[in-house]
Amino acid sequence: MDTNPNLLHFDDPTFWDEGALREETDRVFNICNDCRMCFSYCESFPTLFDAAEDNDYDVKQISKEKVDEIVDYCFECKLCYVNCPYKPPHDYMLDFPRLMLRAKAVKAKRDGIPLKEKLISNTDRLGKLGSATAPLSNWGNRLKIVRKVVDSVAGIHPMRELPQYHRETFPKWYKKQQPTKSADPTDKVVLFSTCLVNYNEPGIGKAAVKILQHNNIEIEYPDQVCCGMPFLDVGDADNAVKNAKKNIDAIFPWIEKGYKLVIPEPTCSYMFRNEYPDILKDDERAAQVAGNTFDFSEYLMQLHKEEKLNTEFSKKFDSVAYHIPCHMKAQSIGYKSRDLLNLITENRVQMIEKCSCVDGTWGMRTEYHDLSLKYGKKLFRGLENSGAENYCSDCSLAAMQVKQGTGDKPTHPIEMLAAAYGLT
């Protein structure tokens, strides 16, 4: 039996009980207030600590409104969990990000989900609309009057750097390619391309396919939908479960045949690995898929370990500063993209271990835009002070945040590897 009350077991009545939630919130807040290690990660913790002080350190006296504020400030970077000394299997079983997700879900069930949050959390719908109207949609997003409307309707800050849409989405491109299958492939994988790649960064998906083909890897690309993290971020449990079920239905038959699941964006691989087994706790297939899920760089480095990765490169880069996304750290897989980049870099890759503080749509929202950039400054400075000729990040949203803060957009490791192979 699970002892962590914040696991995403949406069919458990206790999960939704507001009294039980407040009791757990008080327990976690009390431990966090005594520790205070995470004071610099985001605004949730300083707000919590100030509220505790204002109430003579009795967290039970913190008002519901202040608790809601603490919850709203959490953008689910997972850094507090990664570094927490009390996370499972410690007896305290602390999981602050999961507690925040639970609180958002309970609030959404009680009060409903605001229209603005419904609009920005449905990334498939937004992507299809933006791509169908591209390049007009991209042109419109640069107009002040349009951005004012977007701010009013969807709550996205007028100055926020927005992703570009492409008329030819990655799924459309892939269907045209119809990659040929080798009679004796080195390995077989299922590709989960992600919303960002599908509609905003198809070049990453194209590079991924070319790299896999270059290494004689057989690819399957079944129908798929958004991983569901944007829904979790706004407390939309129903749609998060719906998307998780659709993806497991589509992908599990291939896992059953011995294929591995590879994913180029860390938030999505995190969802498959860490959230799906709990969201779908009664579906054994979710755990099996999770056990065969790999971040793209992780998968390639596994091939390298098995001496199956083609290491004949046509070029190498002089210097690279690599930002490791927080959701990569949360998967506890080590620094696989750094190791991959070291294969194609003349000088050792410089690691920048700072949060981008944009995570999903949180940093896009008008009320958090400035705060997002404030906490992102450590990353911006780290990259700029590195002196590297190339910036690199696995997270496309983090790349947009870096562009907002520095003017330079990092490249995805997959695209750098494809260039090193001479495939682009």
Please name which of 123, 247, 131, 129 lies closest in space to residue 196, comparing C-alpha atoms.
Answer: 123
Based on the domain organization, do 23 and 147 belong to the same domain? Answer: no
Per-residue pLDDT of 211-263, as tens digits, reads 999 999 999 999 999 999 999 999 999 999 999 999 999 999 999 999 999 99
Q: Is 215 within the bounds of a domain?
A: yes
Let me know whether 382 and 289 are in one domain: no
Domain of residue 140: give its range: 115-154
H-state helical runs in 112-177: 115-121, 123-132, 136-140, 144-154, 170-177
Boundary of a domain, candidates 154, 179, 206 = 154
In angstroms, the CA 93 to CA 260 distance is: 31
pLDDT (0 to 100) of residue 1: 41
Q: Are residues 214 and 286 in the same domain?
A: yes
pLDDT value, residue 360: 77
Looking at 279, 304, 329, the residue that finishes a domain is 304
Same domain, residue pair 123 and 106 = no
Whether 240 contacts 233, CB under 8 Å? no
Same domain, 33 and 130: no
- Which residues, 6+ apart, have CB-to-CB distance to 365 below 8 Å? 120, 155, 156, 157
Domain assignment of residue 209, yes or no: yes
How many CB atoms are closer than 10 A to CB 69? Answer: 16
Q: How far apart are CA 175 and CA 416, in angstroms?
A: 24
Secondary structure E strands in 15-103: none
Q: In total, how many domains does the chain have?
A: 4
- Same domain? For 244 and 186 the reply is yes
- On whether residue 199 sits in a domain, the answer given is yes
Give pairs for 369-372: CB < 8 Å, separation 24+.
Answer: 369/157, 369/159, 369/160, 371/43, 371/73, 372/75, 372/401
Question: Do 134 and 31 lie in a common domain?
Answer: no
The reply to whether 251 falls in a domain is: yes
Q: CATH number of the domain at 227, please.
A: 1.20.1050
Identify whether residues 150 and 239 lie together within a single domain.
Answer: no
* Segment holding 414, helix H or strand E: helix 413-421
CA-to-CA distance for 98 and 31, rounded, in angstroms?
15
Q: Of 285, 304, 323, which residue constitutes the final position of a domain? A: 304
The contacts of residue 232 (CB under 8 Å, 6+ apart) are 8, 76, 101, 104, 105, 240, 275
Q: What integer pLDDT is reported at residue 2 of this predicted model?
A: 57
What does the alpha-carbon distance between residue 41 and residue 402 come to, in Å, rounded to a whole number?
A: 17
Residue 5 lies in a domain: no
**Could you tell me if 181 and 238 lie in one domain?**
yes
397 shares its domain with 353: yes
Q: Is 161 part of a structural domain of the chain?
A: no
Is residue 214 within 8 A of residue 113, CB to CB? The reply is no
Residues 215, 325 within the same domain:
no
Q: Any idea what the CATH number is for the domain that residue 379 is in? A: 3.40.50
Query: Is 264 a domain residue?
Result: yes
- Contact criterion met (CB below 8 Å) for 199 and 128: yes
Tell me: do 204 and 272 sit in the same domain.
yes
* Under-70 pLDDT residues of the chain: 1-3
- 274 inside domain: yes
Question: CA–CA separation, 329 vs 325, rounded Å?
Answer: 7
- The partner residues of 392 in beta bridges, in order of sequence, read 322, 411
